[in-house]
Amino acid sequence: MNINTWWSWLNETFNNRELATGFWVCGVLLYLLLYHKTREHLSKLFKVLFQWKLLLLFGSFALYVAGLCWLLNGLYLWSIDQLPQTLIWFFFSGAVLLGRSFNTKEEDRFFRTMFWDSFRIIVIFEFVVVAYSFSLPVELVLVPLTAFLGMLIAYTTVYSEYRQVKTFLEIVAALVVLFFFWNSVILIFENPEEFVTTENGKNFLLPIFLTILSIPIIYVWHCYSHIENAKIRIQMKTFQPKDVKRYAQKRFILTFMARPWLLHRAVRQFHNIPAMSKEDVNQIVSGILAFEREADNPPEVDPRAGWSPHVARDFLKDHGLRTGDYHADGFGEGWFASSDYKELDDGLLQSRASFYLEGDADTVRRLKLKGFFNIDFYKKEALSELREIAIDLISIATGEKAEGVQMILPENFVLDENIEDTRVLGGEERFPNGTAFEYYIILERG
């Protein structure tokens, strides 16, 4: 293949933006290989990337995607000229989704989000934005500039003191994207026949098909990673009998292998109780399955006694404070659930909120909202947001209108009120070293 033929193939296969991106990527890699300090780090990176576990992971994913392409080809939805787009999707989207799946939690609803995101209107917008490119010299300038702009936004996101600069940069980025979009729209209207083609339709649908059809293999690896993690965690405690550990490992994996969030609960309870016999293991499994069945049709709870754990965990989900599963606390003192921390500001030492449920097996008797603030770094907006969350919690849990709650909740959170069958307590706690304080709201029944 001579140079002219090779260059013609590149122009037919890739647009100018993809060629410019490839040029700069190759240039950066060449620089890293030639510079001795980065060359040493790259060699270590390649050693990590070529470990057999990673090769198995991404190799199996590549074979699966190849199988999808063969299947889509049989349905006339994929052709060999779409190989570049397929490779771009594999490295910049598919592999990223596969890696992210290992760190997802039950509350993230990662796979459901992954499915529905494929049908968002933004997908059409993104396709139109990249539908047309400028001339190669222009793209060679635009690609590094937009990449540099993206890096600046990422940098200002990490360092909150540049928040005003971040806002300006995001406006600039939005204007750049709108410029690309408008350019594509103009070219589409000038020559709609060139845009509305079978080839463009296939290119538009390709990432949607690949993303949705890759969910099974990504989910399999997601489950496998949790199984391996569970094996390690089960063996961590030395005081539990070895035969009980072996039985727990077998029973948990066989029962929950396709539901890793339940596997996580089982292993946690195995240590919390702690389980010392096979009967303890069986009780853990039956308890988790029973609780999961109840989630679809929660049993009635006397409102004078407390709240349903299945309902209470969602009281603050709109604020990102949905709790984990409700479980025995391991101390024989009751049942418990907690949310992840929610950041209330972007200070150096961030203010954060958390939400807790406490009670017995069937009934939540106490709700607790806490806000942590570092005296030297907290911002007034964080206090305002915590107050809004507290108002929503009291309103949802008691049925009191938000306007009425605002009237009884002071700025310093100190209160002791009864709203029908619910006692509402609030206050402030200062740390002994004087560096931080907490505001809290507690709702009690029963």
pLDDT tens per residue, range 340-383? 899 888 766 788 999 999 998 889 999 999 999 988 877 788 89
Kindly indicate the confidence band of residue 81, based on its pLDDT and cuts at 50, 70 and 90.
Answer: confident
8 Å CB contact between 424 and 417: yes
Q: How many residues does the chain have?
A: 446
Structure tokens that stand for 376 in this block? 């030297």
Quick one: pLDDT at residue 130? Answer: 67
Per-residue pLDDT of 149-203, as tens digits, reads 888 877 777 666 666 777 888 888 888 888 888 888 888 888 888 777 777 788 8
Kindly indicate the confidence band of residue 253, based on its pLDDT and cuts at 50, 70 and 90.
Answer: very high
Scanning the structure block, which residue is given the tokens 């310093």? 412
Of all residues in the chain, what percent carry a pLDDT higher than 90?
A: 31
Tell me if the bond preceding 432 is cis, omega within 30° of 0. no
Mean pLDDT across the chain, nearest whole number? 85
Q: Of 309, 338, 299, nearest to 397 (Cα)?
A: 309
CB-based contacts of 133-138 (< 8 A; 24+ apart in sequence):
133/15, 133/16, 133/17, 133/18, 134/16, 134/17, 134/183, 135/16, 136/16, 136/19, 136/20, 138/16
Residue 332 has pLDDT above 70, yes or no: no
Per-residue pLDDT of 46-62, as tens digits, reads 777 778 888 899 999 99
Quick one: pLDDT at residue 376? Answer: 80
Cα 296 to chain centroid distance, Å, stands at 24
- Cα–Cα distance measured from residue 14 to residue 347, given in angstroms and rounded to the nearest whole number: 44
Structure tokens that stand for 99 in this block? 């890696």
Quick one: pLDDT at residue 189? Answer: 84
Quick one: pLDDT at residue 160? Answer: 61
Kindly indicate the confidence band of residue 291, based on its pLDDT and cuts at 50, 70 and 90.
Answer: confident
Determine the average pLDDT of the residues in 400-413: 87
pTM: 0.76
Per-residue pLDDT of 200-233, as tens digits, reads 788 888 888 999 999 999 999 999 999 999 999 9
Q: Both ends of the chain: CA-CA distance in Å?
A: 82
Q: What angle do CA 336, 337, 340 make, to 5 degrees?
A: 145
Q: Of 236, 259, 258, nearest to 248 (Cα)?
A: 236
Burial 392-409 (b: 16+ CB within 10 A, else e): bbbbbbbebeeeebeeeb
Residue 1 has pLDDT above 60, yes or no: no
Per-residue pLDDT of 292-328, as tens digits, reads 888 878 888 898 999 999 999 999 999 999 998 888 8
Structure tokens that stand for 266 in this block? 């089982």
Per-residue HEC secondary structure of 119-185 comes to: CCHHHHHHHHHCCCCCCHHHHHHHHHHHHHHHHHHHHHHHCHHHHHHHHHHHHHHHHHHHHHHHHHH
8 Å CB contact between 213 and 111: no
Q: Of 74, 60, 181, 188, nearest to 130 (Cα)?
A: 181
Determine the average pLDDT of the residues in 6-35: 78
Q: Of 364, 355, 444, 293, nearest to 107 (Cα)?
A: 355
Quick one: pLDDT at residue 4? Answer: 72
Determine the average pLDDT of the residues in 5-25: 77
Kindly indicate the confidence band of residue 255, based on its pLDDT and cuts at 50, 70 and 90.
Answer: very high
Q: Which amino acid would we find at residue 33?
A: L
- Cα–Cα distance measured from residue 422 to residue 444, given in angstroms and rounded to the nearest whole number: 6
Scanning the structure block, which residue is given the tokens 């198995």? 56
Of all residues in the chain, what percent carry a pLDDT higher than 70?
A: 93
What is the DSSP-derived secondary structure letter of residue 417? E
DSSP string, 367-387: EEEEEEEETTT--HHHHHHHH
Quick one: pLDDT at residue 224? Answer: 94
- Cα–Cα distance measured from residue 203 to residue 78, given in angstroms and rounded to the nearest whole number: 9
8 Å CB contact between 61 and 181: no
**Based on C-alpha coordinates, what's the Rg of the chain?**
28
Q: Pick the residue with more confidence: 122 or 72?
A: 72
Query: Poorest-confidence range of 110-114, 119-123, 257-261, 340-344?
Result: 119-123
